[in-house]
Amino acid sequence: MTSATGGPPAEARVAIVGGGMAGCSLAHHCARLGCTDVVLLERDQLTSGATWHAAGLCTQFNWDPGITEILLRSTAVYRDLEDAAASGIGWRPVGSLRLAAEPAQLAEFEAVLERGRGQGLQGTLLDRDATQALWPWLEADGVVGSAHIPGEGYVDPARAAGALAAAAREAGVRVWTGVEAQGVTAAPDGRWRVATERGTVTAETVVMAAGAWSGGLASQLGLRLPVVGMEHQHGLTAAVAELGRSATELPVLRDPQASFYIRQDQAGFLCGPFEDDPVTVGESEIAHSGPFQLRRPDPERLARGLAAACRRIPVLDRAGIRSVVAGVDGYTPDGLPLVGELPQAPGVVWCTAFSLFGIAFGAGVGALLAERLVGGIEPPVLAALAADRFGRDLPADVELAARARRTYAAEYRPPAGRPVGRRAGTAVVRAGDDDTG
């Protein structure tokens, strides 16, 4: 993907730092809107940060309708790419089930589905038996039903980001791999200079899409981001013979009570917990982590985090975790990305801190940010992700980390204070009805 000789161009309208899902999506969508005066700088290979090892899960479900809109935008991007890319991008719209342990929770799900319907979110409430019919491995004691969202699924993140970058390049965007942004400084004419070993790029807008490394780039500008490094692990089980023989793939399953997700991975399972005691990672450790680098796995911690999952899905225990993937991502106190400028540095746009949901958010955020930067449109839904939403006087690192850890542990719960559902028990599909798919 590297241009043949020389270095990046001396000037561009938009310079994007970082070739993960966020940077690649932004580059592609700028080009789609007619702006190809864009350069993307990636210090190593595309996707070599957090994107390559993500589980690829793409939810559409969210308590906030604005967030739902962003998530729907992402899945639409993946669906379109799957159709357009010659060999696809590994988009698997297998649907999802979100388990409810009590009628009030089903009512919350119903409220989300009802609100989302006008935006194109499709979903149905299933009773316990209908849920189990779609997920026969489930031990359904204590489950009253689930929300079934057929448009959700998972994608191969590296193929998707690669396809976005390839399309951008085809359209004229200059994609430079193996080129590190070594510092960003203000130019006298109001633009910004991005220094690299292979020359300086001067751009009207610099987009920091450098994932967990964005904090270091912020420090160089004398800025501090409301972000901590957060570790996350998922595990892959050994193959399960019956699963391998099944003609249909299972939907992704999320259990908010036991705080885990699981999807089929060929003949095995891929599963990960959002534990109560997540591990945060310091800035200096992140600064020293290189491309395609994973963190040292902690199988015991993963086993503790998945203990409730094994009770819910006993085959997990029997199959056993064969390998563990441990990585890190920038995480904010409210678990939402940072998208936009900080008042101290207008023209430097943050598109980062995807808080372990950068595949679900990244494609959509890239599309919406391109509308803002080159399309002359201000997508209202981006307000919820404003990079300056935590104010100028950020709490101390220890407080930021504590808030991020609380948010991580409550990943599948509705945010405190959010109004929940009504009309519990209505419109629930029972086993044998057509809608169970």
Ligand X SMILES: Cc1cc2nc3c(=O)[nH]c(=O)nc-3n(C[C@H](O)[C@H](O)[C@H](O)COP(=O)(O)OP(=O)(O)OC[C@H]3O[C@@H](n4cnc5c(N)ncnc54)[C@H](O)[C@@H]3O)c2cc1C
For the CB of residue 352, give the shortest distance to ligand X in the complex, in Å.
6
CA pair distance 114, 14, nearest whole angstrom: 39
For the CB of residue 338, give the shortest distance to ligand X in the complex, in Å.
10
Closest CA to 172 of 407, 340, 3, 48: 3
Helices (H) and strands (E) in the chain, counts: 13, 20
**Cα dihedral sign for 270, 276, 282, 283?**
positive
Q: Which two tokens stand for residue 354?
A: 């995807």
Per CB under 6 A, contacts with ligand X among 209-228 are 209-213, 217
Cα 317–chain centre separation: 28
**Pick from 38, 57, 158, 201: which binds ligand X (CB under 6 A)?**
57
Q: Is 404 in the site for ligand X (CB under 6 A)?
A: no
**Pick from 14, 15, 17, 348: which binds ligand X (CB under 6 A)?**
17
Q: Is 237 in the site for ligand X (CB under 6 A)?
A: no
- Where are the alpha helices (H) located in 17-156, listed in sequence order? 21-32, 65-84, 103-117, 128-134
Q: Is 298 in the site for ligand X (CB under 6 A)?
A: no
Binding span for ligand X by CB under 6 A among 46-54, 199-207, 299-307, 411-419: 46-54
Q: Is 270 in the site for ligand X (CB under 6 A)?
A: no
**Pick from 12, 16, 37, 43: which binds ligand X (CB under 6 A)?**
43
Closest CA to 109 of 63, 154, 152: 63
Q: Which two tokens stand for residue 21?
A: 């899902």
Q: Is 55 in the site for ligand X (CB under 6 A)?
A: yes
- Tell the burial category of 352 from Cβ atoms under 10 Å away from its Cβ (0-12, 13-18, 19+): buried
Q: Is 20 in the site for ligand X (CB under 6 A)?
A: yes
Q: Is 387 in the site for ligand X (CB under 6 A)?
A: no
Half-sphere exposure of residue 136: CA atoms within 13 angstroms, side-chain side = 5
Given 3-state DSSP classes, what are the helix, strand and coil percentages for the chain, each rounded to the nearest 5?
35, 25, 40
**Pick from 72, 99, 144, 181: which binds ligand X (CB under 6 A)?**
181
Q: Is 48 in the site for ligand X (CB under 6 A)?
A: yes
For the CB of residue 393, give the shortest distance to ligand X in the complex, in Å.
26
Residue 98 vs 128, nearer CB to ligand X: 98
Q: Give the interface size with ligand X as a residue count (CB under 6 A).
A: 43
Q: Is 232 in the site for ligand X (CB under 6 A)?
A: yes
Q: Is 49 in the site for ligand X (CB under 6 A)?
A: yes
- Residues lying near ligand X in the complex (CB under 6 A) are found at 17-23, 41-44, 48-51, 53-57, 180-181, 209-213, 217, 232-234, 291, 325, 327, 329, 352, 354, 356-360, 362
